[in-house]
Structure 1
Amino acid sequence: MSMLTPPGMGGKYRITGDTYPRMRRPRNRRRIITAVIAGAVALGLAGWGTLQLIDVFAGDSETSAAGRKADCKPAPGLSAAPPAPKPGQITVNVYNATPRGGLAKAAADELKRRGFAIGKVGNAPAAYDKKVPGTAILLGAPNAYEGAFRVLGTQLRGSLLKTDTRATADVDLIIGTAFKTLDTKKDADAALATLANPAPAPSRKC
């Protein structure tokens, strides 16, 4: 009986000869395990690097490493417009630049009924007489953009806005060839209400 034959198994399972199978793992399995470990390490490093990049680019809106949340500041250029003046605070000079008579007086009377203060009424100056092909021109000082133009524009949509060098707060309504009538009082009142109570701007998330 060979020394490799287990006790009690007799000769049925006798192992003969001087060679026997070597009990070791195949080399290709070692390579697979090594490759899996290396891949896991590479993925871990890549994930860590990605988190670092996110922290760099999102540092203004997320909590910093010290635990202090970055200040949320309003975006530049988004400041609220100044309150619009009341119609009674605006003096309007109404001029007719068309060949049709009576337009300036009719428009001035209607604007007065709607609460505007009326200044001069008559034919347009030579620089504009019969030279306004559109609906109308609103003419005033540069600061009229923030006040008078916004309010008077609710009464006649489609007007061209222009400025001059005047130092006074009055504005000119120069009626053009395409003018038919002022906007209806209902539409003008709705536009004024929207101007007085604008929709709030969406808040910025911090």
Structure 2
Amino acid sequence: MSDFATLEQLDKLTTYYESLGPIVGVLLPFIEAFLPFLPLVVFVVANASAYGLWWGFLITWVGTVAGSYCVFLLIRYFRDTKLIRKLTSRKKMQKLIQWVDRNGLSPLFVLICLPFTPSVLVNVVAGISNIKKVNYFIVLFAGKFAMILFISYIGYDLRELITNPVKLILSIVAIIALWGVGKYFEVRLNRRVERDFKHIQQERQQQK
């Protein structure tokens, strides 16, 4: 009886969300790009559940790519202002920016593909760096495609997810695994940034 009530409430919630229209589905992940404390994964699942796997994926993908690229463009436009310089003056941020300039787009693509990476940080670092606008758009376009499609596939059928213990367990394992992979790359990236930054500092000292 409890499971039936839960499924009934879920159907009502999904129907209500769908009635708000796809504009809301696009707007929520767009806003999340500016406010990273909002749950992007929840918006992905909600859109996939309300509009189906492919339409839900497309709606979320458009919203999050548009929002992320707007953040990138805003930071790029205002990067020479005192406010942005102050916000990015921390030593760790400067290390990331220099490292991205040195290593290019590949590490950014990996970070964008991972659902638990703070996307606003990636967008800000890319905006401050010297990466070309069109190149970052391509990386953002491809990285978000992979990430949003994967989460949409896991969460597009919430009814089956709740009633099928095997799928629920596999989904939980997949999410935990993604979180673990993200942490692994984060730690590895931090080590590489530290190592490369020290190398850059040594090269500058030798040139003096």
Give TM-score, length-normalised by structure 2: 0.24
Per chain length, whose mean CA-contact separation is higher, i.e. which structure has more relative contact order (CA < 8 Å, sep 6+)? 2
Structure with the larger strand share: 1
